[in-house]
Structure formats: structure tokens, C-alpha cells
Amino acid sequence: MHLKSLLFSASLLSVASLASAYPNAHWEDGKAELSGYMLTQPRYGQLRTGTAVYIFVKEDFSEKAKVKADYVRSATDQVPIIKLNFIKKFPTGIYDYNLMTSVFAPFGSRQGLRAGMPIKVSYAHQEWCGSLYDELKTESSGVQLDRHTYFDRDELKMKTLPHQKNGIMVDELPFLVRQFPVPYLQPGESKEVRFLPSYERARLLHRPHTWMNGTFSRSKTASTLKVPAGQFQVEIWTAKLGGNEIYRYFVEQAFPHRIIAWDGPQGERAELKGNTRLPYWQLNNNGGEKYLRELGFIP
């Protein structure tokens, strides 16, 4: 399975350049990397306490169907990717919010787009008032957006946005700050970019999804950060959108560059409680919840 994935990736980027760009053998153990966070989330003008989980795992992805490739397809259709499932859960009074963003980032370039630019982003949002589902797909022709929702003013709207020079998505920042598939910034470097806001922010604020001007920077040196999971040497990556929307990622300086904490707009904050590598999809029997201890969610 893993050798097949490497052979498919060679059609997109040489194996030699992959090896020099990112130690992809880290993802070849058949496990997912799971990180649990203590979350502070703004909603309805108040800060809520909840949990967040990052799940990074290597998969094969179908370029044509834009889904996980569970059976053998052509070498040109099957693309090796890293999938990120980003889950948030937090209460608002009597009812909970459950949010999940999935990002599918290829190891190489495709359709003339830069290496690592997500093939697809999806966002699902459930709370007691209703639910919604958004989907983004990148093609050579542009960024295709599709929305399905219960909420008025958020009715179904399908549109395509043109690609932007130096365009990056807020939803792919967890990849870029981890230097996947290649370092986007060098230490101390800053770039003017065009940001596509996160699906989460666009939906929670009921605002249009459109490109924004911004800057993306990486600290020159590392600093020490203490979180519930321990003490780490971290670099700080900062994304500023439109002058007043700021995200800061505190990223482990040593490989595999785990995200130790992050800050977001309006007081959002998350700090690492636990991290592990597990084949979590096999741990769904009664009793499997004991592995939540490794994420810091149970004592």
C-alpha cells in the first residue's frame, strides 16, 4: 500500500525531491497523528471552553472523484495526500456546537497549482438550531465553492473564484506552518499574500467567501512555551487578514513541527494537552475510549 502510494506520487513530483522536501517516511507507519487541545472559542460575544482535535493521516485520494481512493484507480487519478480532520466541540448554554473541517493536501503539484495546495476542503457544522455543509475544490480553472445549509441568508450558492498570485487558504495554515510539503517561509521571512478565509469563520459570521489581502510571517528565532502537554521550543507563524483578523500558530521547532498552541480572532485560544500516533479507526470498540488519555481528555 505504501509503496504503491510512493509510485503514484512520482508522477507528480520526483521521489528525490519529495525526500529532500519533507521526510514523508514519517507518515508511512499506517497510523494517524492525533493531537488534543484545550480550547477557548468565541461565540455569541462570549468565550466558551471546549476541546479541539487535529488528526493528520496519509491517504490515497482520487483526483477525479475528490474522495478517498479505497480501490485501485489509474496512476494519474490516485494522488498521495495528507488529510487533516480538525474537530471542535464547545457548549453555548444549553446546547453544543460540533464543527469539523477536513483538508486534503497533496505531496506534490497538480494541474499547474503549487505543491501542497489543497485538492479539497470541506466544512460541517451541527448545533441545535440546524446544520450546514460546505465544500471547496481546486481545479486549474479556479476555486469551486458549494454550500448546503439550513440557515436563511446562507442559502445554496455555487460559485468559482479565480486563483490568486500568492493565494493561500486559512484552512491550510496547519500544513504550511508545519512546512508541508516544502517550507513556505524561511525563519524571519514575511510575505504579502491573498488569503481565502476559513470556512468556519465565514459560516459563523455569515459573511461572503472571498479573497482578502494579508501578510504571512515566521519568527526568526524560537522561544519557550509551556502548555498542559509540557514545555516546547516553538516558532511563531502569524497570519494577518485585512489588518484586523490575526492567527498565530506556535509550532514545535523540531520535526515533526507539531502545533503546540494557536491564537485566533476574538480571543480564540488552544493549547496542546496530548499527542499520539494511533490507527484510531480500529479503536472503535467499547473500551477504546481509554486512548483519549493519550490526548489529555481523560485522567
**pLDDT tens digits, 151-166:** 776 665 688 999 999 9
Measure the CA–CA gap between 170 and 138, rounded to whole angstroms.
Answer: 15
* Three-state DSSP class for residue 187: coil
pLDDT band at residue 72 using 50, 70 and 90 as cut-offs: low
Find how far residue 131's CA is from the centre of its chain: 21
Predicted confidence (pLDDT) at residue 193 exceeds the cutoff of 80 = yes
Find the mean pLDDT for residues 252-260: 96
pLDDT band at residue 8 using 50, 70 and 90 as cut-offs: very low
User: pLDDT over 90 for what percent of the chain?
Assistant: 74
Distinct helix (H) and strand (E) counts, the chain: 4, 16
> How many other C-beta atoms are found inside a 10 Å radius of the C-beta of residue 72?
10
What pLDDT score was predicted for residue 12? 36
* Three-state DSSP class for residue 238: strand
Measure the CA–CA gap between 35 and 55, rounded to whole angstroms.
Answer: 7
Predicted confidence (pLDDT) at residue 2 exceeds the cutoff of 50 = no
Find the mean pLDDT for residues 75-79: 84
- Percent of the chain as helix, strand, coil, to the nearest 5: 15, 50, 35
Nearest to 83 by CA among 123, 113, 109, 54: 54
Measure the CA–CA gap between 127 and 61, rounded to whole angstroms.
Answer: 30
Most confident range (mean pLDDT) of 13-27, 149-163, 235-249 is: 235-249
